Amino acid sequence: MTPALIQRNPYRGVPERAFVRVRLLDTKGMERDLELLADTGNPCAIIVGRNDTAFMAPIPGYSVWSNFGALTAGWLQVVIPEIGFDQQVLGYASDEVVSAAQESDPDFGGLIGLPLLRMMQYGGDSDSFWIRPAGK
């Protein structure tokens, strides 16, 4: 029997929040691991801090405006090893969004939103939030 591919994380922060662990890769093989607050109400796939723009392939002149100000757009290579996820995703950078996530827990490095969560299965119970590959 094959073990299930799943990432399960206990809720954390004040108030307690769901999160997902991801790895960003750049074209030179550099890696950065982040814990991203899961926000199903967020229309952006992923939002990270400006210090993580080194992992972005920028889209010149393309940014969007939000209630947090400008969000700088770029392509990110997002890997979640536990579930075999490895995709290029349109993401955004905003220190203001990261600061808002860190109000719940200072270790959160940004947000993972509904467009990225829909690329996998996700759910939760009273103890933890989980993700697994789509269709499994």
Q: What is the pLDDT of residue 62?
A: 77
- What does residue 96 show for φ and ψ, rounded to 5 degrees? -65, -40
| pLDDT for the residue 14 | 96
pLDDT of residue 1: 52
Per-residue pLDDT of the chain (136 residues; tens, 9 = 90+): 555 899 999 999 999 999 999 999 998 889 999 999 999 999 999 999 999 988 988 787 778 888 888 899 999 999 999 999 999 999 999 999 999 999 999 999 999 999 999 999 999 999 999 999 997 5
Exposed/middle/buried for 66, CB within 10 Å: 0-12, 13-18, 19+?
A: middle
- 18-133: CATH topology: Cathepsin D, subunit A; domain 1 (2.40.70)
The label of the residue with tokens 């199903």 reads 40
| This model's pTM is above 0.95 | no
**Cα distance between residue 89 and residue 38, in whole Å:** 16
pLDDT for residue 136: 59
pLDDT for residue 3: 59
